Amino acid sequence: MHPRSYHRIEIRSTDDRHLPIDDLEQRGEFWRENAQYTLGVKLLQKPNTNVAKNVIMFLGDGMSIPTLKAARVYLGQLHNESGEETVLSFEKFPVTGLSKTYCVNKQVPDSACTATAYLGGVKSNEATIGVTAAVQLKDCDASLLEENRVSSIGEWSQAKGKKTGIVTTTRITHASPAGVYAHTAHRDWESDSGDAPPNCKDIAYQLVHEDVGSKFNVILGGGRKNFLPKTAVDEEGDSGTRIDGENLIETWLKSKNKSKAKYVWNRDGLLNVSNDTEYLLGLFEGDHCKYHLDADDKEPSLAEMTQAAIKLLSVNNQKGYFLFVEGGRIDHAHHDTKAQKALDETIEFHKAIESAVNMTNEEDTLIVVTSDHAHTMSVSGYGNRGNDILGSPGIADDGLPYSTLTYANGPGYREQIDGKRPDISAENSRDKNYKFPAIAPLLSETHGGDDVAIFARGPWSHLLTGVIEQHVIPHIMAYASCVGDGLTVCNEAI
């Protein structure tokens, strides 16, 4: 790993160790030593060709490359640093690549078709999950055909006797986590209260009743309402949505029979789960988990959920595990053009990955960090080093300030006043719910079509380099961990 803190470059010789960083950076030797050291570290890196006993996939929903840039600056500035040189935990991983994002039928993708790609290894149509592109939106009958169904790396891992887990800050039935276990012709069929035909089971039902979903050892996220009937009220006073009258939480507990199964609904419950728990279901909100900036101490952080999952999946486990962890609310904040919340959720994601790194061994655990799609936020202007990332980099040609963080479209659009842009200097851009400026008016900001980054460490991580199609990612993870029916390190010939 590079010998630098998260916030400042720390390489100093004996003669200049007392000089402030700003003075050091004016010296060419400072940068040359830094570069030579980094070169030396990279020359020492060797491919890890062990079998990956464990695989952890971290998915930052909507975590575009500009989001990474802005988040690292934001993190640094939270620590009273300029921020540009800050390093997020996963940015220290030795391997990076780019993933191409699109649906079979869409130039810019959604979280459903991308989940099918990065978890199932097959590209599909927009808003469909766990099915091939032969299934059109809402085509229930086509989604039931076995030849149109796509299995995920979660299922491949279960077939090899590995434990499996899902962690998310969204509803556990939302598009990204559903990609691990569900097959549906519409991502919105999360509960039977939707418009799905009766013969197409909703996503919550599939998680509890069907073969793959029912085998998950750890399930942590939001979305209680989709598991409870409309006549029921959950622990926090919210009503369920189900019209079939079934309490899927009770069904899940009963289905575990004599196994040591536990259901929890708040942070205290999660932190007090015993280590011998074999199956854990944690639903911490009726809907999505709260944003970190809005949450209280009753709701666990993404890092705490990740730690609990790794701990339980590791107990008495010789065959290893597959764990999917989603920082899902980065995406939601971007849709609302609430950039500060998007950056804060990215920092929470960074903390969760840091926890996983500290709890696992790089020799036998492959960790892959990526995103499903981008967003339209840009980082622009010629602001001075250390300029407030949530502020303005300068004055535009019309004599008014503009924002460093700007969206191509969305609810942050401001109408002109007397033919002029509004003066944003009168606005409080540091309010956590501030909507950053957008060029075109839309109720919800759109995704971006950019490639997204891949960061990896552990066995066979070196295969995740270059520019690759998104659907290749699970095939590489499967190769490293010897699961699935394709080429693996355990079976060099198909």
**Domain extent listing, the chain:** 54-63+92-376+446-481, 394-443
Query: pTM score, two decimals?
Result: 0.95
| 330/7: higher pLDDT | 330
pLDDT of amino acid 210: 98
Residue 106 is which amino acid?
K
Residue 111 is among the residues annotated as catalytic for this protein:
yes
Give the pLDDT mean for 183-206: 95
Cα dihedral 194, 176, 237, 312, rounded to 10, equals: 140
Residue 150: pLDDT over 60: yes
Give the pLDDT mean for 279-283: 98
CA distance 194 to 358: 42
C-alpha distances (whole Å) from 238 to each of 220, 226, 230, 287, 386 are 18, 11, 10, 9, 44
> 388: how many CB neighbours lie within 10 A of its CB?
15
Give the tens place of pLDDT for each residue, 400-433. 999 999 999 999 999 999 999 999 999 999 999 9
Choose the CATH number for 54-63+92-376+446-481 among 3.40.47.10, 3.40.50.720, 3.40.50.300, 3.40.720.10.
3.40.720.10
Whether 185 contacts 124, CB under 8 Å: no
pLDDT of amino acid 493: 54
Residue 295: pLDDT over 80: yes
pLDDT of amino acid 20: 57
pLDDT of amino acid 329: 98
Residue 104: pLDDT over 80: yes
Residue 5: pLDDT over 80: no
Whether 482 contacts 51, CB under 8 Å: yes
Residue 14: pLDDT over 90: no
Q: What is the mean pLDDT of the chain?
A: 94
Any idea which residue has 């916030």 for tokens? 7
Determine which one of 64, 99, 111, 157 is catalytic. Answer: 111
pLDDT of amino acid 492: 74
CA distance 1 to 17: 21
Q: Find, among 146, 145, 133, 212, the residue nearest to 177 by Cα.
A: 212
Whether 346 contacts 37, CB under 8 Å: no
Whether 170 contacts 176, CB under 8 Å: yes
Which two three-digit tokens encode residue 165? 């887990």
pLDDT of amino acid 57: 99
pLDDT-based confidence at residue 11 (cuts at 50, 70, 90): very low
